[in-house]
């Protein structure tokens, strides 16, 4: 990691980059909340169309742009000054300015996480096209992590672009050769697909969702097939520690499912940042 890359455009460039990262984090909060709602509304509309029922949400658009963000409790529309990353939450003391309902600390946490991860990506890859690609990779993984954690969904609207962007990036000599990226995408999907069916044949239960296959395929497209063993080892280890910790704290039962996507996403990002160290785990 090189601090000189962060200061390639002086402290002004660093400040702008930090602000960009925090602002993207603010937008990711919108994505995390709204994409599952958009999917649910779309599924509902499709079912109503098939069953020839009237659409409940007709005439009320809901996407990443409209309606404007508002308090879920009182409906107060969030103003521009109340939407400044981190600072607004601190100024409002984590409460709605209208009804004083508590605003989750996760909102500024996602903004801060995105800002730090963005700075890390640029510190490693610089203000280059590859640095931008790694930032996009990072932002998509953050969105997938929290969406899956909240809803156990990994939307195709994010996993597919993640996969294709990885292949395109490596087509232009990004991280690994294109051949290794293609094999990585295939191997990532088939590994979890076969694990899923093996578990189902033995137990009669589904051990994971199909979105996990696509996410791991996307990671393979970015990292190449040689990085997949280390990635899945990290994901499984972090997931196991998380599960055991929650069981110890009695906040999780043995029958309660746990989303695996967040651990895959974390492992994928760690593998990208510490690629040589992860690869060394499986090299003599």
Tell which of 125, 151, 175 closes a domain. Answer: 125
**Are 139 and 232 in a shared domain?**
yes
Distance separating alpha carbons of residues 169 and 185, to the nearest angstrom: 13
Q: Say whether both 111 and 11 belong to one domain.
A: yes
Spatial separation of the C-alpha atoms in residues 160 and 267, rounded to whole Å: 18
- Same domain as 162, residue 95: no
Range of the domain at 255: 128-284
Residues 166 and 218 in one domain: yes
Tell me the DSSP string of 167-181: HHHHHTTSSS-HHHH
Burial class (CB in 10 A: 0-12, 13-18, 19+), 32: buried
For residues 236 and 110, give the distance between their C-alpha atoms in angstroms, rounded to a whole number: 23
Q: What is the mean pLDDT of residues 14-23?
A: 95
- pLDDT tens per residue, range 174-197: 999 999 999 999 999 999 999 999
Is residue 59 predicted with pLDDT exceeding 60? no
Rounded CA-CA distance 4/271 in Å is 23
**Span 134-152, mean pLDDT?**
97
Residues 80 and 139 in one domain: no
- Residue 54 in this model has a pLDDT that exceeds 80: no
Query: CA 136 to CA 118: how far, in whole Å?
Result: 9
121 and 134 together in one domain: no
Between these two residues, 228 and 44, which has the higher pLDDT value? 228
To the nearest whole percent, how much of the chain has pLDDT over 70?
A: 96
Q: Domain boundary residue among 90, 125, 160?
A: 125
Our count of domains for the chain comes to: 2
Contact 167, 185 (CB under 8 A): yes
Query: d(Cα 119, Cα 165) in Å, to the nearest integer?
Result: 20
The structure's pTM equals 0.93
Task: Give dist(CA 131, CA 31) in Å, integer.
Answer: 22
151 and 280 assigned to the same domain = yes
Residues 198, 97 share a domain: no
Among 94, 125, 156, which residue terminates a domain?
125
120 and 151 inside one domain: no
pLDDT at 34: 94
List CB contacts of 169: < 8 A, sequence separation 6 or more: 130, 133, 137, 175, 222
- Pair 140, 117 in one domain: no
167, pLDDT greater than 60: yes
21 and 147 in a common domain: no
67 and 112 fall within a common domain:
yes
């Amino acid at each position: 990691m090189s601090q000189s890359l962060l200061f390639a455009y002086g402290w002004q460039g660093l400040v702008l980059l930090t602000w960009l990262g925090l602002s993207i984090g603010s937008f990711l909060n919108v994505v995390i909340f709204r994409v599952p709602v958009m999917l649910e509304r779309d599924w509902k509309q499709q079912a109503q169309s098939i069953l020839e029922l009237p659409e409940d949400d007709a005439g009320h658009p809901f996407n990443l742009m409209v309606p404007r963000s508002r308090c879920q409790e009182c409906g107060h529309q969030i103003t521009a000054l109340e939407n400044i990353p981190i600072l607004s939450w601190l100024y409002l003391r984590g409460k709605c300015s209208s009804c004083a309902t508590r605003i989750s600390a996760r909102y500024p946490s996602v903004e801060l996480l995105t800002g730090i991860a963005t700075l890390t990506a640029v510190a490693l890859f610089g203000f280059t096209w590859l640095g931008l690609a790694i930032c996009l990779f990072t932002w998509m993984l953050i969105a997938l992590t929290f969406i899956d954690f909240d809803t156990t969904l990994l939307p195709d609207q994010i996993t597919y672009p993640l996969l294709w962007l990885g292949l395109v990036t490596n087509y232009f000599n990004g991280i690994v050769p294109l051949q290794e990226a293609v094999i990585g995408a295939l191997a990532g999907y088939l590994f979890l697909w076969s694990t899923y069916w093996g578990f189902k044949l033995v137990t009669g239960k589904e051990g994971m969702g199909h979105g996990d296959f696509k996410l791991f395929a996307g990671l393979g497209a970015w990292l190449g097939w040689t990085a997949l063993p280390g990635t899945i080892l990290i994901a499984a280890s972090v997931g196991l520690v998380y599960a055991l910790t929650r069981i110890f704290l009695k906040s999780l039962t043995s029958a309660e499912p746990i989303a695996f996507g967040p651990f895959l996403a974390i492992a994928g990002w760690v593998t990208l940042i510490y690629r040589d160290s992860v690869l060394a785990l499986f090299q003599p």
